[in-house]
C-alpha cells in the first residue's frame, strides 16, 4: 500500500492508452506537482518498479498489467508558458498539440509539428518524437529529469540525453517533469495556417479514430 491521496490501487490502464488494451496497475498515482511526486516516490515500498505513463500513444500494456507504481503526471505538469526570451516551457504531462497551438497563438514558431503527435512532452523527450521535418532534439533547449530512485532533479540537454532517431538514453527510473523549447518570432496567422495544414495532412493521410500507436515500423 502507498498511503498518499494521489495513489489508487489496481487501476485499469487500457482506457489510458490509444491501443485500449492491457491489465491493471498495482499502484496508480496522479501527483499534482513536483512535491507530491516526490512524496509518492518516497512512500513506495522499496524495490517497487516505477513506470511513467504519458498520453499512452506509444505503449502496449500487457494483459498481466504492471506490478508496480504507474505515474501519470497531474495538474501542474500540464502547464505551458512563454518567457520574455521567447522560449516555451511545458510540463512533462502537457499535450503536444496544446504546446503547438499555444506557441502559435503567442507568435512563436518552430513547434507546429507537435500538433500532429498525440503524446505528451515527457513522451516526446523520451523517444525524440518528431515529424514534418523536425523533431524534439531540434527544438529542445533542456529538460528537467527527476530520478525516481534518488529523487534528484537534473537539467539535461538533447546531447546529454543522446536524442537520436526516436530514441534517448532515458530509462524507466527517469521522469521528464518539464522541457524548454527554443522558438523563433513569427506571424501568428502564418503559424496557425501551418497548424491547420499539418492537421489537414494528418486527417487525409492517417486514419483517425482507430486503435493504434502511430508508426509501428521504423522509417527506412
Ligand X SMILES: Cc1cc2nc3c(=O)[nH]c(=O)nc-3n(C[C@H](O)[C@H](O)[C@H](O)COP(=O)(O)OP(=O)(O)OC[C@H]3O[C@@H](n4cnc5c(N)ncnc54)[C@H](O)[C@@H]3O)c2cc1C
Which residue ranges make up the site for ligand X (CB under 6 A)?
Answer: 18, 51-59, 73, 92, 116-120, 122-124, 126-127, 129-131, 166, 170, 174-176, 206, 212-214
- Which CB atom, from 65 or from 116, has the smaller least distance to ligand X? 116
SS3 216: coil
Question: Among 178, 98, 103, 175, which Cα is nearest to 141's?
Answer: 178
- Which CB atom, from 34 or from 52, has the smaller least distance to ligand X? 52
- Which CB atom, from 97 or from 109, has the smaller least distance to ligand X? 97
Question: How far apart, in whole angstroms, are the C-alpha atoms of residue 94 and residue 80?
Answer: 7
Strands (E), the chain: 7-12, 24-29, 50-52, 66-71, 80-82, 88-91, 108-109, 130-131, 134-135, 140-147, 153-156, 174-181, 184-185
Question: Among 20, 29, 11, which Cα is nearest to 59's?
Answer: 20
Q: State the nearest-atom distance from the C-beta of 22 to ligand X, in Å.
A: 12
Q: State the nearest-atom distance from the C-beta of 84 to ligand X, in Å.
A: 26
- Which CB atom, from 69 or from 175, has the smaller least distance to ligand X? 175
Q: State the nearest-atom distance from the C-beta of 45 to ligand X, in Å.
A: 20
Q: State the nearest-atom distance from the C-beta of 176 to ligand X, in Å.
A: 4
Amino acid at each position: 500500500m502507498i498511503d498518499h491521496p494521489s495513489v489508487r490501487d489496481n487501476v485499469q490502464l487500457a482506457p489510458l492508452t490509444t491501443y485500449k488494451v492491457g491489465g491493471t496497475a498495482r499502484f496508480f498515482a496522479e501527483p499534482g506537482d513536483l512535491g507530491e511526486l516526490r512524496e509518492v516516490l518516497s512512500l513506495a515500498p522499496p524495490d517497487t518498479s516505477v513506470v511513467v505513463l504519458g498520453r499512452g500513444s506509444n505503449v502496449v500494456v500487457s494483459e498481466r498489467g504492471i506490478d508496480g507504481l504507474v505515474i501519470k503526471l497531474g495538474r501542474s505538469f500540464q502547464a505551458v508558458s512563454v518567457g520574455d526570451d521567447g522560449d516555451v516551457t511545458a510540463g512533462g504531462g502537457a499535450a503536444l498539440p496544446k504546446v503547438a497551438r499555444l506557441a502559435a497563438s503567442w507568435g512563436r514558431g518552430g513547434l507546429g509539428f507537435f500538433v500532429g503527435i498525440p503524446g505528451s512532452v515527457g513522451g516526446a523527450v523520451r523517444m525524440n518524437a518528431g515529424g514534418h521535418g523536425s523533431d524534439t532534439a531540434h527544438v529542445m533547449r533542456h529538460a528537467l529529469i527527476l530520478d525516481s530512485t534518488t529523487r534528484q532533479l537534473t537539467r539535461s540537454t538533447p546531447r546529454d540525453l543522446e536524442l537520436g532517431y526516436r530514441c534517448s538514453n532515458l530509462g524507466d527510473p527517469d521522469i521528464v517533469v518539464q522541457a524548454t523549447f527554443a522558438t523563433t518570432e513569427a506571424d501568428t496567422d502564418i503559424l496557425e495556417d501551418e497548424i491547420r495544414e499539418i492537421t489537414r495532412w494528418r486527417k487525409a493521410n492517417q486514419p483517425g479514430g482507430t486503435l493504434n500507436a502511430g508508426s509501428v515500423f521504423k522509417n527506412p
